[in-house]
Structure 1
Amino acid sequence: MRPSGRLNGWLFALALLAGAGALGYLSARHAHVADWTRGGRASLAPESRAVLDRLAGPVEVTCYASPQGDLRQTVAGFLERYRRAKPDLTLTFVDPQQDPAAMRELGITVDGALVVRYQGREQRLDELSERSLTNALERLARGGERIVAFVTGDGERQADGRANADLGTFMAQLEPRGLRAVPLNFSQVAAVPRHTDLVVLASPETPLPAGAVRALVDYVQGGGNLLWLSEPGNDDLGLAPLADALGVRALPGVLVDGGGAALGLKDPRLIALGSYPIHPITRGFTLATLFPQASALARTRAQDWAAVPFLRSGPQSWTEFQPIRNDGDSTIRYDADAGELKGPLDFGFALSRLSPSPDKSVQRAVVIGDGDFLSNTFLGNGGNRALGERIFDWLLGDDALVNLPPRGAPDRVVELSQGALGALTWGFLVALPLLLLAIGGLVAWRRRRR
């Protein structure tokens, strides 16, 4: 090769290295991302970007994920799409194994759980998806404080109590979401105060005064939202007018499930659920929940309420009339002659109708035959807390969220016969290498002939 040719080669190599260095320098300081996937599956949906545009201020995301494995990398890659649209969104990782007691206090039960904070409010997520995160940001963007009044004075579960049966832990975890629990004692007031967003009647133990029942019925008939947590055997507390106003009644007996033994549950009164009837409260909800002692519910008559069951026991359940020992050693069996009812049986109803109040368009109520699942003792079991949050979201109208369209990849599954699969295997492992060797040999032979 001539000296001028060698010089040109060296100059070309230097220019190539300089160009590569310049590209590396620019790429480190200026990011450009292009999404060429079908339907933009690797980018945020326009609906998600619109929600981010409404958030004026920083958003903090804390992920409680173990450093082992690839979970943290997966979460960081997922949130990077949000950070490109909102640079002041920050992500922090916390190892949940470092302080298990603190994790229980925060209600963190799933590895990879997210807590999203914005302007003093927060949302918890157990699912990593664009739909769940965008809807959490949508709730945070709405803001505003919700007043939740808890009926007190008749042995009800306390919203700020620390006893095993109280709901203090659950309500403390709802406070950062913008919910404020206040007591409602009808010995002090004659009616539910105005601007109350939700009234909770949580498992009273003694009969309510006639005035309190009348006030609750007037509240419901006036368009107020209600959460009623009842218990087995508590159907004689003077609440028949309220049950009639809702068109729901409790069935006699306690709900038991013979299938719980397969799950290691010794007490037949423990109802474990892993699947749920279709309803906005349970849409996409796959976590297991545990109900310690429930009564079955039934509709009494046709009303203007649209009643949809969202909690239903299994086919091996029934309403047991005989007493059951607390240690679970009682021998029980289904007795149709005694009037016991065979499952599946509903023990949670979601009711909605056009609101008679001019202040809102839809009125909602939820009646559940168990209140223990949200108590301080049982809140940490499976998805109990997450289900409770969904119930409150639906009652308060926070289920009207962003509807993200599906953006799945078309034809992602390739179906090949055994013969076609064998042809591809031999083609890539044998034929293609031989072809490349032949081409290389031909090129070398032609160069030697020159």
Structure 2
Amino acid sequence: MKASLRKYAPAGLILALLASLSAIGFAIVQRSFTLPVQISISLAVIGVALFVLLDPQKTREILTGRQARYSSNALVLALAFTGILIALNYLVYTRAPRWDLTEDQQHTLAKETLETLKSLQEPVVAEAYYSSRFPSTTAQDLLESYKYNANGKFSYEFIDPEKDPVRARSANVTRDGTIVLKQGNRSEQVTYASETDLTSALVRLANPGKRAVYFLIGHGEYSPDDSGDRSYSEIKNLLSAKNYTVNTLNLLATRNVPEDALALIIAGPDKPVSTEEISLIQAYLDRGGSLIYLAEPTIVTHFGEAEDPLATYLEKQWGIRLGQDMVIDLNYNPPSVAVSAKYAQHPITERMYNLAVVMPSARSVSPVQIEGNDVQSYVLTETAQNSWAEKDFNSLRNNQAAFNPEQDVAGPVGLTIAATNSKTNARVVVIGDSDFASNRNYAQYGNGDFLINAIDWAAKQENLINLTPKKTTQRILILRNNITLGVILLTTVFLIPGLTLVAGILVWIQRRRRG
């Protein structure tokens, strides 16, 4: 080979080295034998071939000389060392022991969760519907912990609902970040990746039973069985996906709230609920039932001047007042739409991800102090400051609403209240709007999530199992003075790296002297 071409032979080895590194990098990132990996390997082979063709004499020396014998021994040792590393990594990956070295065991599942996993009779598969835009690290770590402790009875997979919308629809998944637990032909949905929610869903899944909720009908309410925009059929689908049995109830005909009713839902009646029905509802609540009332401003109903027995009962017995007004929110266009700007700390709102609830037409809801009763109430959502509850219906009809400090209620205005009777364990949720959860609006922001959370809480399904709480140990590094800071900086940034560098230089000099 001509000497002029031989000088380019090292370029072939450089090409082979770079291509080999690229192949390793692509294989690690893509985790499959993809086209970039194949091209990189081909370039590595071409680089070695170029070196052999351009400098065959050097190739013979490498393969037959003393250096080759040393190199072959080094190659054997390297291959043996690599094989040992591969074997150890395989054993660690397949039978990896885990140690939680934190003082308060923050990375260890609660004992109740471990007992639940141990008691599983059938395998459970978790389908985590997370798009690439939704953070999934917490969910993956949690699901991996469940899988590790379930003795082969728990597995999971992540599915991108944007890439596989058909599968997401078949699982009744309507929001990103939903986890569907499946056992046999049963399923449970979890919309918040926490140990409490996952374990509660596992308990419900392993202990199937009827969880019935009833929608009141007979007064022009939204019905879960209708279709079209003025319907709650989508809410029914969401509830069915969580293993609820959704029924309708006509108290005017049956004169009884069924014993299996976990909650009674009254969604936007167009006419008042009768006094006789209120007595039946009161008896149901007195024995520990739950009520979700989605009201509407009377100006958009056919209540007229008729008395509203349900509003009277809620105010006198539960301390919840429904205002004779309509909320005006200048932060939204049109201003007749009320938007939740503030959430209280409550199980209904803690999993809302700060998503707003948008109510197309709402009335104010406020607490009233009642002496001597056992009710505790919480205002869940409020509008922003730049809003008010308009009491002049004529100005609303003429589209001339303006804040009157003498009669209107200045913002922020309460839109939702949740209340609990500590004596009977009954629960009530009152919402100042109903069409926010209709088929037309339920998918906006947090509308559907809010109502589903409210039903879960009222039906006492939000937390079936109380996990052992973990106390977080807080540690604070107190730096006494600037001298301490200087010593830390000198040691960590300069001294330790400097000593390492000096040691390396000394070793290099000694090797040079030995020849």
Smaller-chain TM-score range? 0.7 to 0.9
Q: Would the aligned equivalents of 1:310 and 1:349 in 2 still touch at CA under 8 Å?
A: yes
Q: Secondary structure at the match of 2:261?
A: coil
Q: Would the aligned equivalents of 2:417 and 2:431 in 1 still touch at CA under 8 Å?
A: yes
Pair 1:315-2:385 in alignment = yes
1:392 corresponds, among 439, 444, 455, to 455
Deviation (angstroms), 1:284: 5.2
Deviations along 1:158-181, whole A, 9 cap, x unmatched? 022222132111121111323212
1-structure distance, mates of 2:479, 2:138: 29
What letter is aligned with 2:309? Answer: L
2-structure distance, mates of 1:352, 1:411: 38
Q: What is the aligned-residue identity percentage?
A: 25
Deviation (angstroms), 1:440: 4.0
Deviation (angstroms), 1:120: 3.9
Specify whether residues 416 and 287 from structure 1 end up closer, same or farther in structure 2 by C-alpha distance, changes over 3 A only. Answer: farther
Pair 1:438-2:438 in alignment = no
Residues 14-413 of structure 1: pairs in structure 2 closer than 5 A: 20=85, 23-24=88-89, 26-27=91-92, 29-66=94-131, 68=132, 71=135, 75-86=139-150, 87-98=152-163, 106-110=172-176, 112-233=177-298, 236=306, 238-240=308-310, 242-243=313-314, 244-258=316-330, 260=331, 265-283=332-350, 285-288=352-355, 289-300=357-368, 302=370, 303-322=373-392, 330=399, 332-337=401-406, 339-355=407-423, 362-400=425-463, 401-406=465-470, 408=472, 410-411=474-475
Deviations along 1:390-411, whole A, 9 cap, x unmatched? 2112212223443352464643
2-structure distance, mates of 1:204, 1:98: 40
2-structure distance, mates of 1:129, 1:223: 28
Q: Would the aligned equivalents of 1:270 and 1:292 in 2 still touch at CA under 8 Å?
A: yes
Q: Would the aligned equivalents of 2:342 and 2:383 in 1 still touch at CA under 8 Å?
A: no
Specify whether residues 413 and 373 from structure 1 end up closer, same or farther in structure 2 by C-alpha distance, changes over 3 A only. Answer: farther
Deviates more, 1:68-77 or 1:212-221: 68-77
Q: Secondary structure at the match of 2:236?
A: helix
Query: How many aligned positions are there?
Result: 432
1-structure distance, mates of 2:421, 2:169: 38
Q: Secondary structure at the match of 2:418?
A: strand
Deviation (angstroms), 1:205: 0.6
Residues 413-424 of structure 1: pairs in structure 2 closer than 5 A: none
Deviation (angstroms), 1:435: 2.5
Tell me the TM-score normalised to structure 1 length: 0.80
Deviation (angstroms), 1:254: 0.3
Specify whether residues 71 and 352 from structure 1 end up closer, same or farther in structure 2 by C-alpha distance, changes over 3 A only. Answer: closer
Deviates more, 1:44-53 or 1:279-288: 279-288
1-structure distance, mates of 2:289, 2:479: 55
Deviates more, 1:231-240 or 1:266-275: 231-240
Deviation (angstroms), 1:342: 0.8
What letter is aligned with 1:273? Answer: S
2-structure distance, mates of 1:278, 1:56: 37
The gaps in structure 1 that reach 5 residues or longer are: 1-7, 357-361
The gaps in structure 2 that reach 5 residues or longer are: 1-72
Which residue does the alignment assign to 2:23? none
What letter is aligned with 2:409? Answer: L
Q: Secondary structure at the match of 1:188?
A: helix
Q: Please identify which structure carries the higher helix content.
A: 2
Specify whether residues 213 and 76 from structure 1 end up closer, same or farther in structure 2 by C-alpha distance, changes over 3 A only. Answer: closer
Deviates more, 1:404-413 or 1:86-95: 404-413
1-structure distance, mates of 2:275, 2:506: 101
Specify whether residues 84 and 190 from structure 1 end up closer, same or farther in structure 2 by C-alpha distance, changes over 3 A only. Answer: same
Specify whether residues 333 and 47 from structure 1 end up closer, same or farther in structure 2 by C-alpha distance, changes over 3 A only. Answer: same
1-structure distance, mates of 2:90, 2:455: 51
Q: Would the aligned equivalents of 2:376 and 2:420 in 1 still touch at CA under 8 Å?
A: yes
Q: Would the aligned equivalents of 2:120 and 2:153 in 1 still touch at CA under 8 Å?
A: no
Q: Would the aligned equivalents of 1:291 and 1:373 in 2 still touch at CA under 8 Å?
A: yes
Specify whether residues 439 and 266 from structure 1 end up closer, same or farther in structure 2 by C-alpha distance, changes over 3 A only. Answer: same
Q: Secondary structure at the match of 2:254?
A: coil
Q: Would the aligned equivalents of 1:61 and 1:91 in 2 still touch at CA under 8 Å?
A: yes
What letter is aligned with 1:295? Answer: R
- The higher relative CO (CA closer than 8 Å, separation ≥ 6) is in 1
What letter is aligned with 2:155? Answer: T
Deviations along 1:326-345, whole A, 9 cap, x unmatched? 9x9945331123x1111223
Specify whether residues 181 and 59 from structure 1 end up closer, same or farther in structure 2 by C-alpha distance, changes over 3 A only. Answer: same
Q: Would the aligned equivalents of 2:239 and 2:246 in 1 still touch at CA under 8 Å?
A: no
Deviates more, 1:240-249 or 1:155-164: 240-249
Q: CA RMSD in A?
A: 3.9
Deviations along 1:52-86, whole A, 9 cap, x unmatched? 223322222112223x4795566434421110011
2-structure distance, mates of 1:149, 1:129: 29
1-structure distance, mates of 2:322, 2:133: 48
Specify whether residues 9 and 229 from structure 1 end up closer, same or farther in structure 2 by C-alpha distance, changes over 3 A only. Answer: closer
1-structure distance, mates of 2:92, 2:413: 61
1-structure distance, mates of 2:175, 2:100: 35
Q: Would the aligned equivalents of 1:158 and 1:168 in 2 still touch at CA under 8 Å?
A: yes
